[in-house]
């Protein structure tokens, strides 16, 4: 039997949320032996996410935790100002620690709701021993960032932005074995991590660079893209609503 892939997705209410979650859920429907952990950045669970999960037919866990006010982005803030999805991912890690055992085989992947995932990526990560890594497309001001591999070992990183970070990688560029996470019960993402250091704050306590397992053809294939969805403009709809001509379905 296949080790289970635990996909952890933080998500929050905004106009494009349903579109993002429909796309991601319909990708995940093609992946066998998968458990989706969706964590809403909200004080209570929304019916939108509740219904979407129910109807998906996926195996899932639905959680929620609100980002503390001081760490929350405000309308109009550039989105790099604060880390996003941190408390949500940590809650999912806690859920795994509370509900899974060291003898359970699995792999944990952090999949933001707006990225684009090739199905092949899930095959690549399935048999992760400790931490596996691969390139991420459209990120860091480059067509892709990638771990550099020599003789089957990661020796460094092709990245231009803050290259001296301990693990200069995007959240979407690695997966962690469930056993490694359970064996390190305090490993978590640091809410106060400096910009760009969130991934490092978790990985530093779990692996060294030499231990990383390069996947996706020795990190020469891009199977995940850090796509971002444009915020839609509602100018016309607001004008109609002002005239009392708005519509709801
Ligand atoms: N997110 C969240 N709360 C927020 C902002 C973002 O839970 O206030 C989630 C979002 O849905 C996504 C992840 O955190 O799954 C990363 O956010 P985003 O895609 O905006 O970050 P970026 O890719 O631009 O770094
Ligand atoms: Mn994103």
How confident is the model over 82-96, as pLDDT tens digits? Answer: 889 999 999 999 999
Testing ligand 1's pocket by substitution, the residue of 9, 12, 74 carrying the most ligand atoms inside 8 A of its CB is: 12
Calculate mean pLDDT across residues 59-72.
Answer: 93
Cβ atoms of residues 106 and 100 within 8 Å? yes
pLDDT at site 91 = 98
Interior/surface letters 131-163, b for 16+ CB within 10 angstroms, e for the rest: bbbbbbbbbbeeebbbbebeeeebeebebeeee
Contact residues for 199 (Cβ-Cβ < 8 A; gap 6+): 165, 167, 169, 170, 171, 173, 174
Q: Is 41 in the pocket of ligand 1 (CB under 6 A)?
A: yes
pLDDT digits (tens, 9 = 90+) for 110-134: 999 999 999 999 999 999 999 999 9
**Rounded to whole angstroms, how far apart are CA atoms 166 and 174?**
14
Token pair, residue 94, equals 């806690």
Cβ atoms of residues 112 and 90 within 8 Å? no
**Rounded to whole angstroms, how far apart are CA atoms 189 and 92?**
11
Calculate mean pLDDT across residues 66-77.
Answer: 85
Ligand whose nearest atom lies closest to the CA of 110: 1
Tell me if residue 219 falls in helix, strand or coil.
Answer: helix
**Rounded to whole angstroms, how far apart are CA atoms 80 and 98?**
32
Q: Whose CA is nearest to atom 14 of ligand 1?
A: 85
Ligand whose nearest atom lies closest to the CA of 80: 1
Paired with 15 in beta bridges are none
| 199 is annotated as an active-site residue | yes
Catalytic residue of the set 105, 199, 210, 213 = 199
Calculate mean pLDDT across residues 204-216.
Answer: 98
CA within 13 Å, CB half, 165: 23
Testing ligand 1's pocket by substitution, the residue of 85, 113, 136 carrying the most ligand atoms inside 8 A of its CB is: 85
**pLDDT of 230 above 90:** yes
CA of 113 to the centre of ligand 1 (A): 8
Q: Is 195 in the pocket of ligand 1 (CB under 6 A)?
A: no
Burial-class residue 40 by CB neighbours within 10 Å (0-12, 13-18, 19+). Answer: buried
Cβ atoms of residues 38 and 11 within 8 Å? yes
Report the residue count for the chain. 249
Q: Whose CA is nearest to atom 4 of ligand 1?
A: 84
ipTM more than 0.95?
yes
Calculate mean pLDDT across residues 217-225.
Answer: 98
Q: Is 40 in the pocket of ligand 1 (CB under 6 A)?
A: no
The confidence band for 71, taking pLDDT boundaries of 50, 70 and 90, is: confident
Q: Whose CA is nearest to atom 15 of ligand 1?
A: 112
Cβ atoms of residues 73 and 82 within 8 Å? yes
CA of 139 to the centre of ligand 2 (A): 10
**Rounded to whole angstroms, how far apart are CA atoms 153 and 11?**
34
The confidence band for 140, taking pLDDT boundaries of 50, 70 and 90, is: very high
CA of 112 to the centre of ligand 1 (A): 7
Q: Is 112 in the pocket of ligand 1 (CB under 6 A)?
A: yes
């Amino acid at each position: 039997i296949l080790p289970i892939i635990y996909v952890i997705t933080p998500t929050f209410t905004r106009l494009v949320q349903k579109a993002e979650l429909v796309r991601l859920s319909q990708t995940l429907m093609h992946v066998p032996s998968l458990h989706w952990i969706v964590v809403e950045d909200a004080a209570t669970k929304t019916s939108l996410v509740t219904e979407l999960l129910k109807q998906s037919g996926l195996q899932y866990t639905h959680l929620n935790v609100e980002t503390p006010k001081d760490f929350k982005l405000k309308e109009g803030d550039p989105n790099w100002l604060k880390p996003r999805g941190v408390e949500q991912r940590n809650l999912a890690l806690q859920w795994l620690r509370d509900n899974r055992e060291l003898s359970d085989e699995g792999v944990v992947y952090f999949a933001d709701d707006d990225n684009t995932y090739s199905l092949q990526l899930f095959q690549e990560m399935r048999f992760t021993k400790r931490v596996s890594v691969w390139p991420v497309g459209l990120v860091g001001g480059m067509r892709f960032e990638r771990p550099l591999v020599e003789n089957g070992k990661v020796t460094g990183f092709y990245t231009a932005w803050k290259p001296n970070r301990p693990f200069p990688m995007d959240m979407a560029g690695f997966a962690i074995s469930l056993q490694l996470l359970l064996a390190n019960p305090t490993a978590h993402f640091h809410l106060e991590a400096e910009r760009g250091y969130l991934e490092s704050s978790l990985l530093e306590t779990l692996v060294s660079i030499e231990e990383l397992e390069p996947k996706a053809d020795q990190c020469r294939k891009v199977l995940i893209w850090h796509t971002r969805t444009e915020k839609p403009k509602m100018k016309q709809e607001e004008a109609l609503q002002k005239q009392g001509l708005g519509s709801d379905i």
